[in-house]
Amino acid sequence: MTNKQLIQKLNTRGVLTKDEFVCLLSSYNRTDAEYAQKLAQKIAKAYFGNKIFIRGLIEFTNICRQNCYYCGLRAENSKASRYRLTKDDILECCREGYPLGFRTFVLQGGEDPHFDDELVCDIVKSIKAEFPDCAVTLSIGEKSRNTYQSFFDAGADRYLLRHETANSEHYSKLHPKTLSLENRKECLFNLKKIGFQTGCGFMVGSPHQTVETLAEDLLFIHELQPQMVGIGPFLPHKDTPFGREPAGSFELTLFLLSLVRIMQKNVLLPSTTALGTIHPQGREMGILAGANVVMPNLSPVSVRKKYMLYDGKISSDSESAQGLEELKERFKKIGYEISVSRGDFRKG
């Protein structure tokens, strides 16, 4: 089969065999990528029109007990300047975001033991009490099923937990022994069972990644059927074990975004900060490749530069009315508008 035929098969069947994915990923050229991009964009337009959903990202703690080899927030990075926001700080971020049109707040943080189950539930309940028409997304790592259930019962709607790689050998090259792919997958299936709109995802070009592991990532996405998928290029952070590794490919990231849109037509697919960091028009190009979500930063300006997952992470002022206007302007130029709505996953 030609690559064009493989992309068409993906479009009608929603999945390919591992060999077919490997073949496509190892031999696609610019024409194939353009074909996938046009198809993905057409699908996104059919499902979401020209609307982009916005999520207000609140990076509420950069303290983390884990030691992922790729991440600037890893516990062993003694150079990171650590912070945590209080519940009031977090509510203040929401109060700034709401009048700007944000109807989803994403609480993202490292695995910080200070934020125990009780405190997280209290924060979620307080946000939902003050902003009943808003969705709350959590992104705070691996927890037990009971803990996830208590977050859900407190009112959290969505949960992001990237699987990072669906190949266990590759997984063990990205993480210390305290983390396993098996447990990561179990967490993701638990989140789905509980009823969260669940997001998995991976970095493109992480060290030791191959077309085979990428094929496994796509197969895992097909197996999990997540409501959201986060994909961005790997970018090195100088104070990590992968500080001298090359960054992931921008073009390959766009191609994978398109493939995920073609596979899972109604998936919520962000054009990520990492994509905006690796290329000045990255976020627009992600949208044109099939993404339909952006996550502007609502964290207080004073802590923005401290949430450094990788070097050069953009920390633009998109929280301010002016910053958001700028973003709207940029999307308008490519024919898109920001939607003021929760932007929930819709079946079918």
Tell me which residues touch ligand 5AD (CB under 6 A). Answer: 70-71, 162, 164, 203, 232, 234-235, 237, 274, 309-310
Which range, of 62-70, 183-191, 267-275, 298-306, touches ligand SF4 by CB under 6 A? 62-70
CA torsion sign for 239, 243, 249, 255 is negative
Question: Which residues from 140-179 bind ligand SF4, rule CB under 6 A?
Answer: 141
At closest approach, how far in Å is the CB of 70 from ligand 5AD?
Answer: 4
Strand partners, 137: 106, 158
96 Rama class: left (phi>0) / alpha (psi -120 to 50) / beta:
alpha
At closest approach, how far in Å is the CB of 220 from ligand SF4?
Answer: 18
**233 near ligand SF4, rule: CB under 6 A:** no
Question: How far, in Å, CA of 74 to CA of 59, rounded?
Answer: 15
Which of residues 20, 89, 111, 122 is near ligand SF4 by CB under 6 A? 111
Q: Taking CB within 5 to 8 Å according to partner kind, which of ligand 5AD, ligand SF4, none is near residue 141?
A: ligand SF4
Write the CB contacts of 268 (distance below 8 Å, at least 6 apart in sequence): 53, 197, 199, 227, 228, 229, 292, 293, 343, 345
At closest approach, how far in Å is the CB of 264 from ligand 5AD?
Answer: 19
Compare residues 110 and 282 and give the one whose CB is closer to ligand SF4: 110
Question: Which residues from 113-142 bind ligand SF4, rule CB under 6 A?
Answer: 141
Indicate the helix (H) or strand (E) that contains 253: helix 250-263
Amino acid sitting at position 25:
L
Compare residues 20 and 111 and give the one whose CB is closer to ligand 5AD: 111
Nearest CA-CA partner of 167 in 101, 213, 230, 132: 213
Compare residues 157 and 164 and give the one whose CB is closer to ligand 5AD: 164
Write the CB contacts of 19 (distance below 8 Å, at least 6 apart in sequence): none
Q: How many CA atoms lie within 13 A of 117 on its CB side?
A: 13
Compare residues 127 and 140 and give the one whose CB is closer to ligand SF4: 140
Compare residues 62 and 318 and give the one whose CB is closer to ligand SF4: 62
Alpha-carbon separation of residue 286 from 230, 260, 262, 277 (angstroms): 12, 12, 14, 12
Query: From residue 65 to residue 104, what is the string marking binding to ligand SF4 with x (rule CB under 6 A)?
Result: -x-x--x-xx------------------------------
Compare residues 50 and 316 and give the one whose CB is closer to ligand 5AD: 316
Compare residues 155 and 243 and give the one whose CB is closer to ligand 5AD: 243
* DSSP 8-state code for residue 105: E
Compare residues 310 and 331 and give the one whose CB is closer to ligand 5AD: 310
Which of residues 97, 110, 201, 296 is near ligand SF4 by CB under 6 A? 110
Which range, of 29-37, 63-71, 88-96, 152-160, touches ligand SF4 by CB under 6 A? 63-71
DSSP track, 166-197: S-HHHHHHHS-TT--HHHHHHHHHHHHHHT-E
Question: How far, in Å, CA of 6 to CA of 20, rounded?
Answer: 7
Binding site for ligand SF4 (CB under 6 A): 64, 66, 68, 71, 73-74, 110-111, 141
